Amino acid sequence: MGSPSRISVPKPVRNLSVKDQTNSSITLGWTEPDGTASQHYLYRIQWEGTGTPGNKSTDNTSVLVDGLQPGSWYQFAVWVELNGTRSSQETCNVSTVPNVVTSLRIQNRTNSSLTLSWTAPVGPDHPSYTYWVSWVIEGTMVINTQDTRVSNTSDTRITLEQLEAGSLYTFTVQAERNGVSSDIRTLTEATDQTQAGSRQTQYCGDGGRR
């Protein structure tokens, strides 16, 4: 009798990467194992993180995993199955996109400052968010400043000072978590006009009072 045929272990997938990410889904892509393009593979995908772990299978070299939590880390593992034998795993850690901030509004206004406030994005409470705020006065370039970055607290607000009196500004706020930024929220508001009491009295001609 001849010896039983030896079952070879398939090689792992190559170039596992993130193709797209939203606040509720991750799309992964990869290249089929090296040197055996004629084989018909079944790819297994498994993930864990916030919420219930899950798994999928596909014969394509990409997969969409949805139903995930916003602004949350997930670990994905992908391997090949061929004739009942599985390859080693390739893994990828990736975060979904945070939801946007809500209730962006002006809390306080003077002729040289505006205080913005907002509500944290809907989603898991941890880890905390970082908020990026930018603003532009009408007709000028956007000003991006790293010192407008603040931590996520119950008092989510920032005061922007040294603004021009009676000027219209457009503000944008983004939430960042796990190195991934949300879509922006935008608000357009104006500072107060220069206060009448701060103006100097002007006199006309030589006969004016001194």
Class of domain 14-95: mainly beta
Provide the pLDDT for residue 209.
Answer: 42
Across 159-169, average pLDDT = 90
According to CATH, the topology of domain 102-194 is Immunoglobulin-like (2.60.40)
> From CA 30, how far away is CA 18, in angstroms rounded?
9
| Residue in 184, 181, 186 with CA at minimum distance from that of residue 98 | 181
In this structure, which amino acid lies at residue 64?
L
Output the average pLDDT for the chain: 84
pLDDT the model gives residue 13: 95
User: What is the rounded average pLDDT of the residues 158-163?
Assistant: 89
First to last CA, the chain: 123
What average pLDDT does range 51-72 have in this prediction?
96
The number of CA neighbours under 13 Å toward the Cβ of 99 is 14
Which is more confidently placed, 137 or 144?
137
CA 35 to chain CA mean position, Å:
38
Q: For residue 94, what pLDDT band results from cuts at 50, 70 and 90?
A: very high
Helix, strand, or coil (residue 112): coil
- AA identity, residue 35: G
Ranges for all domains in the chain classified under CATH 2.60.40.10: 14-95, 102-194
Q: Binning pLDDT at 50, 70 and 90, where does residue 83 land?
A: confident
**Average pLDDT in the 89-102 region?**
96
Residue 37 pLDDT exceeds 70: no
Q: Do 110 and 166 meet the contact criterion of CB atoms below 8 Å apart?
A: no
- Burial of 78 by CB count in 10 Å (0-12 exposed, 13-18 middle, 19+ buried)? buried
141-165 exposure pattern, b = at least 16 Cβ within 10 A, e = fewer = eeeeeeebeeebeeebebebeebee
pLDDT of residue 140: 60
Say whether pLDDT at 70 is over 90: yes
Separation between Cα atoms, residue 74 and residue 180, nearest integer Å: 13
What integer pLDDT is reported at residue 155 of this predicted model? 58
> At 194, which amino acid appears?
T
Mean pLDDT of 169-175: 90
Do residues 57 and 42 lie in contact, with contact meaning Cβ atoms separated by under 8 Å?
Answer: yes
Confidence at residue 114, expressed as pLDDT on a 0 to 100 scale: 93
Amino acid at 7: I
8 Å CB contact between 188 and 134 = no
Distance in angstroms (rounded) separating the CA atoms of residues 126 and 72: 9
